Structure 1
Amino acid sequence: MDDISPLQILLANLAILAGSCLQGVAGYGIGTLAAPLLFLVSPLLLPGPLILNATVLTILMLIRNRGALQVRQVRFAIWGGALGTALAGLTLLVLSPTGFELIFGVLILTGVALSVAGLRPTLNARNSVIAGAASTYMGTITAVGGPPIAMIYQNEKGPLVRANMSAFFLTASFFSLSALLLSGYLGLRELQLFGLTFPGVLIGFWLSGRLVNRMPFNGLRPVILAVAAAAGSAALVRGLWSL
């Protein structure tokens, strides 16, 4: 493609590989880690191409962890996700390029704040609806929808987390892609970029299967959040500079 270089494609694949590996181990992370990096590589890679890659990843993860899935528990988050997607679609319809950078930066920094806040909400129907709505709203606009939904699963076991969050993210991805299509943020260019960055997902998922019991997610968490905060701040500064 003329508007993105081979080096940018390579860097995008590496970012998606790292994010896919992290999500394969922890249950979430492709958005939190990869989206800020992709924004720095090229804003064209967000949100559509990354959400398409995340959809493929969640399908693979759901197949791997299907034995631990509890559909009854995750359905409330999915209902909330439908509401969050509708609100995100309306937001995208009125956003300018400068507005996108501003809201991207604000939502990324919000996700970081939620991750470090230390809140421990109970896993129940009400909190699942709220977390689902917040997650899909953030995920549709920035491709970073993990922090809100991860908060209500932080006290659960690994297989359950990976299975239920994969089921939620898969449904949320289809919601988000529908909103992006209707608001004009998903077209041929985004599909081409998805095709060029798809290998990163496959390699990252394969690698996560070998690291699932060895990767020190808690040790990497500060680095991931620092990267997200830096990219969110950069997007906010760029948006404010363009006003």
Structure 2
Amino acid sequence: MIPDSITLADLILANLFLMAGACLQGVAGYGIGTLSAPLLFLLSPLFVPGPLVVNAVVLAILLLLRNRASIRFREVRYAIGGSIVGTTLAGLTLAVITGTAFDLMFGVLILLGVLVSVAGLRPALNPRNSAVAGAASGYMGTVVAVGGPPIAMIYQNEKGPLVRANMSAFFLFTSCASIVALFFAGRLGLPEMKLFLLTLPGVVTGFLLSATLVQRLPFSAMRPLILGIAAVAGIGAMVRGLTGG
């Protein structure tokens, strides 16, 4: 059963948030977590991480099919290996964390993601950095459904088609691993799957919209707004966790 606290207005807003995030990921290679997760959390913590992670799997499949000609699996395999470690640690974390502690952790990890995005670091795309970024992305992607910033950091100097293809392959694997971790941590059940189905139309619409905007949308111009939204939501989550309400 879907909790009574989720209203029709909540579902409409959730679909709009996911549409925007899916469109952004279709253009830039990542973004559904960075943009949608903080907004969904402020709407209702029930939307994250479970329903959003399952939606991320669907989106990753669609984007991987669209960009399959540009994939270079040899490069992304190291990030996938690192993500296994991060996802396992995240599953253990979620198995023991309490409600208010989760709010606090959500806020901290969101702000960490923002800091990573604005730090200006430009690590080389090599096996070691890929594994480290993969581990960080796997952990953050499972706990708060925001795994984009760490892995995006090592692809920031690469061209668009390669970024979208390799990151889609990475997110497909890590999101599937996150689903397993969330299930065993008791964070993904029937209510979360129902919310996933009710918000899937927003993701599909955003994916379709991104095909017309991929060459037109100035991601660099939107980046400050996206990170600003994430930062405000992260602070809000921390306040909620500290006050217990």
Q: Which runs of 4+ in 1 moved over 2 A?
A: none
Deviations 1:65-124 (A, max 9, x none): 000000111000000000001100111111000111010000000000000000000000
1:149 lines up with 2:151 in the alignment: yes
CA distance in 2, matches of 1:51, 1:17: 14
- The sequence identity of aligned pairs, in percent, is 65
1:29 to 28, 31, 39: 31
Q: 2:176 maps to which residue?
A: 174
How large is the RMSD of aligned CA atoms in angstroms? 0.7
2:44 to 17, 26, 42: 42
Give the counterpart letter for 1:238 in structure 2. Answer: R
CA distance in 2, matches of 1:169, 1:235: 25
1:238 to 237, 240, 243: 240
Q: CA deviation at 1:3?
A: 2.7
Scaled by the length of structure 1, what TM-score is found?
A: 0.99
Q: Number of residue pairs matched?
A: 243
Deviations 1:139-172 (A, max 9, x none): 0000000000000000000000000000000000
Give the counterpart letter for 2:193 in structure 1. Answer: L
CA distance in 2, matches of 1:86, 1:177: 11
Q: 1:109 maps to which residue?
A: 111
Give the counterpart letter for 1:4 in structure 2. Answer: I
Q: 1:99 maps to which residue?
A: 101
CA distance in 1, matches of 2:96, 2:207: 36
CA distance in 1, matches of 2:163, 2:179: 23
Structure 1: gaps of 5 or more residues: none
Q: 2:10 maps to which residue?
A: 8
1:120 lines up with 2:122 in the alignment: yes
2:189 to 158, 162, 187: 187
CA distance in 1, matches of 2:196, 2:233: 21
CA distance in 2, matches of 1:163, 1:139: 18
Give the counterpart letter for 1:181 in structure 2. Answer: F
CA distance in 2, matches of 1:130, 1:174: 19
1:201 to 200, 203, 206: 203
Structure 2: gaps of 5 or more residues: none
CA distance in 2, matches of 1:22, 1:242: 33
SS of the aligned residue for 1:233 comes to helix
